[in-house]
């Protein structure tokens, strides 16, 4: 079964809007596990506008499901004397997802150019794998980029699914085509496959039907928004149903 990893950044965004500890990000991570999520994802950015480096550290001993930390390996915290690589190596999560975020972006908006960044990614992948951490590279649905990602030694790639989600209503068959092709290339290259960005209750079932071998989906914004109406327990159940 494809694993559901809940990205809890938006919960931290709400907390940070007022200060204090409401909602409690750490308890929320535990509740997601209790309600059936198979993973927790966080994406700490240097400005710590949502998940803070301290949150990322505190979550690890509280959960038993897979922990996935996303981010740009070049990121440096503005509140702590170390960067993203140091944070991940200290925590040693099940998985690190490398995302080429530029500083100040609202949300992730592109995958890696694995041709231009081949040597750099090889070094980063090697460093994390030496610590026993599975590595995934965030990438567009581009066969060439996936082939070159495989050459870095990465364990998986995560398909950036924003274009699928935005084109789904206009024609889901056309929207899914490049992702099916990309997923087949990843499979042929012998690497695992994750997916994420704007996947929702509306479009997730079809995505999974067409690419049933995806290992994991990471979902945050839509899932947390659905939880405002449905509650987090019911929402996680519904997302898991999409993946059966």
Please confirm, yes or no, whether 221 is among the known catalytic residues: no
Closest CA to 60 of 11, 94, 31: 94
pLDDT value at position 103?
Answer: 60
Q: C-alpha angle 180/128/75, rounded to 5°? A: 85
Q: Which of 43, 66, 208, 216 is catalytic?
A: 43
Please confirm, yes or no, whether 233 is among the known catalytic residues: no
pLDDT value at position 109?
Answer: 61
Fold of 3-242: TIM Barrel (3.20.20)
Q: Which of 33, 48, 66, 70 is catalytic?
A: 70
pTM: 0.94
Going from N- to C-terminal start, the domains of the chain cover 3-242
* Separation of CA 200 from chain center: 14
Q: Which of 33, 66, 197, 208 is catalytic?
A: 197
DSSP assignments along the chain, one per residue: --EEEEE-HHHHHHHHHH-TTSS-HHHHHHHHHHTT-SEEEE---TT-SSS-HHHHHHHGGG--SEEEEEE-TT-B-SSSSSBHHHHHHHH--SEEEE--PPTT-SS------TTTTHHHHHHHHHHHHTTT-EEEEEE-S-HHHHHHHHTTT-SEEEEE-HHHHHHTTT-HHHHHHHHHHHHHHHHHTT-EEEEESS--TTTHHHHHHH-TT--EEEE-HHHHHHHHHH-HHHHHHHHHHHT-
Give pairs for 167-173: CB < 8 Å, separation 24+: 168/202, 168/203, 168/206, 172/203, 172/206
pLDDT value at position 105?
Answer: 53
Q: What is the pLDDT along the chain (244 residues), one digit of tens a residue?
A: 899 999 999 999 999 999 999 999 999 999 999 999 999 999 998 888 899 999 999 999 999 999 999 999 997 776 666 799 999 999 999 999 999 975 655 455 679 999 999 999 999 999 999 999 999 999 999 999 999 999 999 999 999 999 999 999 999 999 999 999 999 999 999 999 999 999 999 999 999 999 999 999 999 999 999 999 999 999 999 999 999 9
């Amino acid at each position: 079964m494809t694993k559901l990893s809940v990205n809890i950044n938006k919960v931290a965004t709400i907390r940070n809007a007022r200060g204090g500890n409401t909602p409690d990000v750490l308890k929320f991570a535990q509740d997601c596990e209790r309600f059936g999520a198979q993973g927790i994802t966080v994406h700490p950015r240097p400005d710590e506008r949502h998940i803070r480096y301290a949150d990322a550290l505190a979550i690890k001993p509280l959960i038993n499901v897979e922990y996935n930390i996303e981010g740009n390996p070049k990121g440096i915290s503005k509140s702590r004397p170390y960067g993203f690589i140091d944070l991940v190596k200290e925590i040693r999560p099940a998985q690190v997802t490398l995302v080429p975020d530029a500083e100040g972006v609202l949300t992730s908006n592109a995958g890696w150019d694995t041709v231009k960044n081949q040597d750099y990614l090889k070094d980063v992948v090697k460093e994390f794998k030496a610590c026993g951490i599975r590595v995934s590279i965030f990438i567009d649905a581009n066969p060439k980029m996936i082939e070159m990602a495989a050459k870095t030694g990465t364990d998986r790639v995560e398909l950036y699914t924003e274009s699928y989600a935005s084109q789904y209503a206009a024609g889901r068959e056309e929207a899914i085509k490049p992702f099916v092709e990309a997923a087949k290339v990843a499979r042929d290259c012998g690497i695992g496959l994750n997916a994420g960005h704007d996947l929702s209750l509306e479009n997730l079932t079809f995505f999974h039907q067409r690419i049933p071998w995806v290992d994991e989906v990471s979902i945050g914004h839509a899932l947390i928004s659905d939880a405002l109406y449905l509650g987090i327990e019911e929402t996680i159940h519904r997302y898991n149903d999409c993946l059966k």
